Amino acid sequence: MNKARQIGVLREALASLDPFGETGRHGVFTLGAGPVDAALGGGLARGAVHEIYPAQVFDIAAAAGFVTGLSLRAAPHAPLIWIRHRRSEIEAGTLYAQGFAEMGAASDQLVVVHVDDVADGLRASLEALRCPGLGAVIFESWGTSKHLDLTASRRLSLAAQESGATGLVLRVMSEPEPSAAATRWRVETAPSSDPLGMPGRAAFSTRLLRQRSGPSGWRWNLEWNHETLGFAQTQALSGLVAAPHRDRPIGSPGDPGWAEAG
């Protein structure tokens, strides 16, 4: 047995021991945009937790659209549970099922749980993530909370891994904190690319803040295509802005600061 093979075997053994292993046993889902999926090493892990940070209060809708897209990529037309903090409802508006349907999602399959605080939201998310048969669980939290710490995110990850449902944590009004999430994104709205001079498809300016299994720091401008149920890369502003880091430190300098709104 040569060395390379030996290392390969050991790696596999390690991967099976690591509960937060990159691909896990539920496989990956692609975003539909070639270069993005390549940078993600094939796609995002199903049955794992991904964190999405809207850059500002005004970006909640964009981040929610991105999350909706991810949930459709992970499991199209599967039941979806969306846990929302009531504050989010006041600041960003109520989830509109007709608009949700227009994105290509099945509004009949959507269940929204309204919670009063992050602790309740976390409880609901754990309960939902433990349930097999769900496509994805979206947890929209508001602000920083001592309840949403590393331990909590580990629990979420374990629950997701157990059931195979993908956990998408939409963290509104919060700075990135240490967590067991497989990937972490920052999302802003982006000008839509429509040649007719009118507002076009859902467009996002995304930045991969961190991924457990590869380099991060990429920045992509993406658009949601409701027909293919996939993301497509738009040309403007795409590409690598900063040199990719391996396991970029949390809350890295250069991130735009946060201002508490209202």
Partner 1 sequence: MTDRLVRLAIQDGRKQGEHPLVVVARKGNILALVGADANARRQGLRPGLAFADAKARVPQLEVAEHDETADADLLERLADWCDRYSPLVAVEPPDGIVCDITGVSHLFGGEAGLVADMENRLRAQGFATRIAIAGTARAARALARFGRGGIVPVGAEAHSLAGLPVEALEAGEKTTTGLRRAGLTSIADLAARPRKPLAARFGDQMTAILAQILGEIDRPITPRRPLPDFVAEQRFADPIGLMDDIVFALTTLSQNLCKSLDRHGQGGRCFEAAFFRADGKVTRIELLSGQPLKEAGVLTRLLEMRLEALIDPLDPGFGFDMIRLSVLAGDDMAAIQSGLDGKAMASGEVRDLIDRLSARFGAGSVQRFVANDSHLPERAARAIPAISDESPSGVWRQMGPFGVPARPLFLFYPAPTIEVIAEVPHGPPRRFQWRRAWFDIVKAEGPERISPEWWRKTSDTRARDYFRIEDTAGRRFWVFRYGFYGIGTEPVRWYLHGVFP
Could you identify the residue written with the tokens 């390549």? 38
Q: Does 201 bind partner 1 (CB under 8 A)?
A: yes
Find the part of the chain contacting partner 1 (CB under 8 A) among 1-9, 19-27, 103-111, 243-251.
Answer: 103-111
Using CB under 8 A as the criterion, what x/- string covers residues 122-141 for binding partner 1? -xx--xx--xxxx-------
Of 127 and 177, CB closest to partner 1: 127
CA distance to 25, 128, 221, 239, 257, per residue, from 163 (Å): 10, 10, 32, 35, 36
177 — phi, psi (to 5°)? -125, 165
Burial 172-202, CB ≥16 within 10 A → b, else e:
bbbebbebbbbbbbbbbbbeeeeeeeeeeeb
Q: Does 17 bind partner 1 (CB under 8 A)?
A: no
Of 18 and 194, CB closest to partner 1: 194
Of 91 and 149, CB closest to partner 1: 91
Determine the distance from the C-alpha atom of residue 78 to the mean position of all C-alpha atoms in its chain, rounded to a whole number.
17
Of 22 and 59, CB closest to partner 1: 59
219 — phi, psi (to 5°)? -135, 125
Tokens of 257: 């600061």
Residue (of 212, 205, 194) closest to 153 by Cα position: 212
Q: Does 256 bind partner 1 (CB under 8 A)?
A: no
CA distance to 71, 88, 113, 134, per residue, from 110 (Å): 11, 17, 10, 10
Q: Does 230 bind partner 1 (CB under 8 A)?
A: no
Of 29 and 224, CB closest to partner 1: 224
CB of 109 to partner 1, least distance (A): 6
Of 90 and 240, CB closest to partner 1: 90
Q: Within 62-91, which residues bind partner 1 (CB under 8 A)?
A: 62, 64-66, 68, 77-79, 81
48 — phi, psi (to 5°)? -140, 175
Q: Does 198 bind partner 1 (CB under 8 A)?
A: yes
Interaction site with partner 1 (CB under 8 A): 58-62, 64-66, 68, 77-79, 81, 92-104, 106-115, 120, 123-124, 127-128, 131-134, 188-192, 194, 196-205, 224-227, 261-262
